[in-house]
Structure 1
Amino acid sequence: MSEYENIKLTSLSSKGGCGCKIGPADLKQVIGSLPVAEQHPDLLVGIDTSDDAGVFRISDELALVQTVDFFTPIVDDPYSFGQIAAANAISDIYAMGGKPLTVLNIVAFPITTLDKRILADILRGAADKVKEAGATLVGGHSIDDKEPKFGLAVTGLIHPDRIKTNAGAKAGDKLILTKPIGVGILTTSIKKDQLSAAEVERLTSVMATLNKTSAEIMSKYEVNGCTDVTGFGLVGHALEMAKGSGVGITLVKDSVPLLPRVKELAENGFVPGGTKNNFMHVKDDVVFPEHLSQVDQWILCDAVTSGGLLISVNPEQAVALLDELIRGGVEASIIGETTAEGAGRIVVK
């Protein structure tokens, strides 16, 4: 826990410490109102398929992968918050199959009312995670704000022929998830003092874990599509994959790994608004079994911070990939498959 005994970072956010993105429905409405920009011939991945990062070709053998992400505190320990924010932002580079190169810090902080050591610890946590990723901090920007917020703008490198997108899945692929879900429900529970110190530590460890090992291992296999599971939840990001790839997706609910106590806490009312918004956005494109409770449906849509990769892999290589991920210390599971039927839709079993 934080050494700053009288400060709970999660209590300083009017969003309730969930760190949620703007909801997918609202974001779609805003972006849809903008004029269509002329696409540059070297823009290999833009906003068309709601992918994790943009990719811009600079030569026949090299392209830049670019992303940005920031949010309000979801844990109370400043160092851990910095680590989580960094891991979350860098994850987009890994999801595209890229290698992170440089990062810029994005800081909003109430510098006159909070101890400056808190900000120093946030930056130190991020710096340690950036170093672990093999990237380099090159600068950043800060503003004085009443609510603390932190994140990174990240640039990575990739060969133009090796890009992994959420629009590349092929019918018949197996789907592998590399981290358990339930983060949004548990981070909401932190604000209500519902988690023990050990449970907070477990949750923090999951969120602060880089997707580096998963990305490095998947590069050896015939992976057709990939995305990371973050604010729009497992079902939301899977639906983007289904729509972008023109495939259907079947998810096996009992195969989806959950963090401890997620269902119990959700049943007790600790479901963030972002999770419920995710459900409302996807429900018309998802077939849930009749016996599945509303809570279980919300859990599959739970807004995640710094989640795992959702990997769409050739079915003949899925078991080998899964085995290597597990040997590498990744909490991976096969959770479903893509189908030729029902393009752009999800069936939960």
Structure 2
Amino acid sequence: MGALTEMAKPSGKAADILASHGCTGCTDVTGFGLLGHLVEMTKPSQVHAELFMQSVPLLNGAQETLGAGVTSSLHAQNARAAASVRNFDQVLQTHPQLWPILVDPQTGGGLLAGVAWEKAEACVQELRENGYGSTAIIGKVTKQDHAVGPIQIL
């Protein structure tokens, strides 16, 4: 998927579909990167989230660009969100090449939304049928268990 193609997609129809499936919270992923927005969505609700790293859709070339050391001026600031990842050391070992993508601020939208687990698959299917082909279930919300950090990356 090309960056410009993805960034040019309007989010209005996606928002309507999410609402019809009972979306409980939604944000567009922009300058704080995926991880920053996920932290912002989980902390106020005092819930944790498990992020399925292998399910996060990537734009063509994103991995290679970050691997070559090309980052935004906000990248280091966003990386502070690592303090919210309870298994950060494990993530660095298992996904060292993908970790920088989670905090990369060079995004132009895409929505991060919360939908009840039992409705998620139907919601994803409807979004894909309506032109949002990169839609994926990238994690799940869990109850807070007082462990360090609200985010666990699997």
How many pairs were matched up? 148
Match of 2:111 in 1: 309
Match of 1:327 in 2: 129
Q: Is the 8 A contact 1:229 1:304 kept in 2?
A: no
Match of 2:52 in 1: 252
Q: Is the 8 A contact 2:33 2:107 kept in 1?
A: no
Identity, % of aligned pairs? 36
Match of 2:81 in 1: 282
Confirm or deny that 1:339 pairs with 2:142: yes
C-alpha distance in structure 1 between counterparts of 2:21 and 2:95, whole Å = 36
Match of 2:72 in 1: 272
Letter in 2 for 1:337: K
Alignment of 1:1-349 (within 5 A): 202-279=2-79, 281-286=80-85, 287-288=87-88, 289=90, 290-330=92-132, 331-342=134-145, 345-349=150-154
Larger radius of gyration: 1
Residue ranges of structure 1 left out of the alignment (5+ in a row): 1-179, 181-201
CA RMSD of aligned residues (A): 1.8
Q: Is the 8 A contact 1:275 1:303 kept in 2?
A: yes
C-alpha distance in structure 1 between counterparts of 2:145 and 2:81, whole Å = 15
| Greater RCO, 1 or 2 (C-alpha within 8 Å, sep 6+) | 2
Letter in 1 for 2:142: T
Residue ranges of structure 2 left out of the alignment (5+ in a row): none
What is the CA-CA distance between 1:332 and the residue it aligns to?
0.5
Q: Is the 8 A contact 2:51 2:152 kept in 1?
A: yes
Length-normalised TM-score, structure 2: 0.88
Length-normalised TM-score, structure 1: 0.40
What is the CA-CA distance between 1:306 and the residue it aligns to?
2.4
C-alpha distance in structure 2 between counterparts of 1:304 and 1:335, whole Å = 19
Higher strand share: 1
Question: Helix, strand or coil: the match of 2:141?
Answer: strand
Q: Is the 8 A contact 1:275 1:301 kept in 2?
A: yes
1:8-30 residue CA offsets vs partner (Å, 9 max, x unmatched): xxxxxxxxxxxxxxxxxxxxxxx
C-alpha distance in structure 2 between counterparts of 1:260 and 1:266, whole Å = 12
Question: Helix, strand or coil: the match of 1:278?
Answer: helix
C-alpha distance in structure 2 between counterparts of 1:342 and 1:257, whole Å = 28
Higher helix share: 2
C-alpha distance in structure 1 between counterparts of 2:145 and 2:67, whole Å = 31
What is the CA-CA distance between 1:273 and the residue it aligns to?
2.5
